[in-house]
């Protein structure tokens, strides 16, 4: 298990879908209230930002060439010189881990459709951020940094499953971060921890979050990043900790989904094949078009009735003309002919039509917020926090305010995009500040009980060593919806009967049902294999191993103990 120990610095890496960054604080910095955080300023083309685009440029040998703004700019230059064929360029690739079972061998395609192992791309990006922050910390110190001086916290969405968390952990370890100096933090939890130190309203001098949300009160955290909307509901406890009230929920409704809506909008005007050709043949123009859209997206307002003007690349209008002679003809045939005009290489989009690009994403978020507010367990909830870069969108803020209604209060902290990052630093310093979580799934293993004709179907009947057994029975460890305190242990005793066995393997399953009967039920899927190293034992000797799964933290931990000697044996829990 990871532990802070004698580490001098807690370092948080927020590896985002669209933007990534880091923050750190020394033990001395934690003496301040609120703690003093250090972050990095990244140089973009026109401005300094506290996060860099999650963009990775690799050469033909799959070695890192550049990250962030540098990767964007260098790849753009390679495209303009038509010299990009031997390079890999990845961006916004974190969403690969959302609702998809990934493994160490999962391939990921770059913008030119070239494939590479996903874990390698993630690892190189994390390694770059790690090396960048090491340089920054070293500037503050007179003595050289030692390995144990840093304790790392890597953030992930709360709605991610256990294999996705292990994937990120292994990518971080491959990037040179020691296993026992790495913790995984859940993004909305980190934001919630940060908000405990928050001044909620500049007008209310001295009033902070802890006075707004007193002990026993519940509050919702809506974390809106580039890829996902991630919602948790927490309750403040008198001992200063926080507890989950309902399981985390969310979906792929971050800022990136607005980009996808814009792509679909352009497909409706220009044609899907034209847009795909632009992306594959004129990639530089495609990237520039979406960069311009990003700036327009950030400035959208509810009360603005002025047309939104977007300059189209000449290559795009040329591709359209190959099919329609004139761009205006394609526009006239589309369903947007009354609200979009084309003039001098520019699209003039009616304000309501442009706001419509946000509608589906905002509707999904509001639908989920409404569903949560109807939950009896949080009917007394009065405070909603919105954090993450996408929370700065005025359309979304207005929609949430309209949905929650008075007297509920919406709080959007300054620098909402850094709430997760700074909260992750605090989490590293106080890993048990979340004192209770709720299990999102049911956990269990396969068992082989005695056959009972009144309970078990004939298809599950097997004979093992002369005994009639029922195969595939789901033996439950933890039920979906269970409240769990960190460090909650569930144990089972296994026997190794063959003297030549060197390992004992146990497959762990999850289910979306509270009471699954068999591991073959549609609701069940294999989580991973628990491998226990066995000590030497002789023929006829019964070796009993107590296998323990430890729940309640952000990751599942495991332990195995030889009941005869009490020795703790090595355990590997492989989820990938």
Q: Provide the percentage of residues in the chain whose pLDDT is more than 90.
A: 58
User: pLDDT digit string (tens) for 82-128?
Assistant: 888 899 999 888 888 887 788 889 999 998 889 999 999 999 999 99
User: pLDDT digit string (tens) for 216-227?
Assistant: 899 999 999 988
Rounded Cα gap, residues 344 and 324, in angstroms: 17
pLDDT at 415: 79
Could you tell me which of 412, 407, 403, 380 has the C-alpha nearest to residue 209?
412
Residue 197 has pLDDT above 80, yes or no: no
Rounded Cα gap, residues 421 and 388, in angstroms: 10
The mean pLDDT value for 359-387 works out to: 94
CB-CB contact of 381 with 348 (8 Å): no
Place of tokens 């207005």: 398
Residue 388 has pLDDT above 80, yes or no: yes
Confidence of residue 447 (pLDDT cuts 50, 70, 90): confident
- The residue that leads in pLDDT, 132 or 41, is 132
Confidence of residue 271 (pLDDT cuts 50, 70, 90): very high
The mean pLDDT value for 224-251 works out to: 92
User: pLDDT digit string (tens) for 33-42?
Assistant: 777 888 888 8
Q: Which residues contact 575 (CB under 8 A, 6 or more apart)?
A: 162, 163, 166, 527, 528
Rg (CA), the chain: 27
pLDDT at 205: 41
The mean pLDDT value for 49-66 works out to: 93
Residue 470 has pLDDT above 60, yes or no: yes
pLDDT at 565: 85
Average pLDDT taken over every residue of the chain: 89
Confidence of residue 319 (pLDDT cuts 50, 70, 90): very high
pLDDT at 459: 94
Q: What is the phi-psi region of residue 345: left when phi exceeds 0, alpha when psi lies from -120 to 50, beta otherwise?
A: left
Write down the pTM of the prediction: 0.89
The mean pLDDT value for 146-154 works out to: 89
Rounded Cα gap, residues 176 and 126, in angstroms: 9
Instruction: DSSP for 240-277, please give it.
Output: S-EEEEEEEEEES-STHHHHHHHHHHHHHHH-HHHHHH
Rounded Cα gap, residues 63 and 86, in angstroms: 12
Q: What six digits make up the tokens of 569? A: 């044996």
Rounded Cα gap, residues 444 and 496, in angstroms: 20
Could you tell me which of 348, 404, 347 has the C-alpha nearest to residue 372?
404
pLDDT at 540: 64
Q: What six digits make up the tokens of 513? A: 């049902």
Could you tell me which of 351, 373, 371, 369 has the C-alpha nearest to residue 361?
369
User: pLDDT digit string (tens) for 396-439?
Assistant: 999 999 999 888 999 998 878 889 999 999 999 888 899 999 99
- DSSP E strand stretches across 173-241: 182-186, 218-224, 229-236
Residue 202 has pLDDT above 50, yes or no: no
Cis peptide before 560 (omega within 30 of 0): no
Rounded Cα gap, residues 448 and 201, in angstroms: 59
Q: Which residues contact 508 (CB under 8 A, 6 or more apart)?
A: 443, 444, 445, 477, 526, 527, 528, 529, 530, 549, 573
User: pLDDT digit string (tens) for 275-284?
Assistant: 999 988 888 8
Environment class of residue 364 by beta-carbon count within 10 Å: exposed (0-12), middle (13-18) or buried (19+)? middle
- DSSP E strand stretches across 412-535: 434-438, 442-447, 461-464, 467-470, 473-478, 483-484, 488-496, 503-511, 524-533
Q: What six digits make up the tokens of 170? A: 């292994």
Rounded Cα gap, residues 230 and 224, in angstroms: 6
């Amino acid at each position: 298990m990871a532990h802070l120990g004698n580490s001098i610095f807690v370092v948080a890496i927020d590896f985002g879908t669209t933007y990534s960054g880091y923050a750190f604080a020394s033990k001395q910095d934690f003496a301040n209230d609120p703690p003093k955080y250090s972050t990095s300023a990244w140089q973009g083309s026109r401005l300094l930002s506290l996060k860099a685009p999650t963009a990775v440029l690799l050469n033909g040998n799959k070695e890192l060439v550049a990250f962030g703004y540098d990767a964007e700019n260098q790849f753009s230059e390679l495209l303009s010189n038509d010299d990009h064929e031997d390079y890999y360029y990845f961006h916004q690739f974190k969403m690969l881990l959302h609702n998809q079972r990934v493994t160490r061998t999962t391939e990921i395609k770059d913008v030119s459709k070239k494939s590479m192992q996903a874990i390698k791309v993630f690892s190189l990006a994390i390694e770059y951020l790690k090396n960048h922050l090491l340089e920054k910390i070293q500037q503050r110190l007179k003595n050289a940094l030692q390995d144990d001086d840093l304790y790392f916290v890597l953030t992930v969405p709360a709605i991610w499953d256990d294999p996705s968390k292990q994937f990120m952990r292994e990518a971080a370890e491959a990037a040179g971060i020691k296993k026992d100096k790495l913790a995984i933090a859940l993004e909305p939890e980190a934001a919630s921890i940060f908000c405990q130190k928050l001044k909620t309203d500049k007008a209310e001098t001295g009033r902070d979050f802890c006075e707004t949300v007193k002990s026993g009160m519940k509050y919702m955290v809506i974390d809106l990043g580039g890829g996902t909307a991630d919602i948790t509901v927490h309750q403040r406890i008198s001992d200063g900790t926080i507890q989950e009230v309902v399981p985390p929920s969310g979906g792929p409704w971050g800022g990136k989904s607005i980009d996808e809506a814009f792509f679909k909008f352009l497909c409706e005007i220009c044609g899907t094949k034209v847009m795909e050709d632009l992306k594959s043949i004129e990639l530089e123009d495609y990237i520039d078009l979406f960069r311009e859209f990003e700036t327009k997206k950030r400035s959208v307002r509810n009360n603005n009735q002025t047309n939104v003007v977007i300059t189209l690349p000449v290559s795009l209008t040329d591709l359209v003309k190959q099919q329609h002679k004139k761009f205006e003809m394609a526009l006239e045939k589309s369903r947007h002919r009354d609200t979009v005009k084309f003039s001098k290489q520019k699209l003039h989009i009616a304000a309501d039509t442009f706001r419509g690009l946000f509608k589906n994403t905002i509707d999904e978020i509001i639908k989920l917020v409404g569903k949560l507010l109807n939950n009896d367990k949080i009917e007394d909830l009065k405070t909603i926090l919105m954090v993450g870069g996408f929370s700065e969108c005025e359309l979304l803020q207005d929609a949430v305010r309209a949905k929650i209604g008075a007297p509920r209060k919406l709080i959007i902290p300054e620098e909402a995009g850094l709430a997760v990052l700074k909260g992750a630093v605090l989490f590293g310093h106080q890993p048990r500040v979340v004192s209770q979580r709720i299990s999102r799934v049911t956990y269990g293993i396969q068992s082989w009980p005695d056959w009972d004709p009144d309970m078990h179907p004939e298809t599950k009947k097997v004979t093992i060593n002369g005994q009639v057994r029922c195969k595939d029975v789901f033996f439950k460890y933890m039920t979906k919806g269970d409240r769990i305190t960190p460090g909650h242990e569930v144990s089972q005793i296994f026997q190794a009967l063959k003297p030549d066995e060197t390992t004992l393997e146990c497959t762990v399953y999850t289910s979306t049902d509270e009471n699954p009967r068999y591991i073959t039920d549609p609701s069940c899927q294999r989580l991973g294999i628990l491998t226990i190293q066995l000590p030497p034992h002789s023929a006829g000797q019964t070796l009993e191993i107590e296998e323990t799964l430890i729940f309640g933290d952000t990751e599942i931990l495991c332990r195995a103990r030889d009941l005869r000697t009490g020795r703790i044996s090595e355990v590997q829990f492989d989820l990938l």
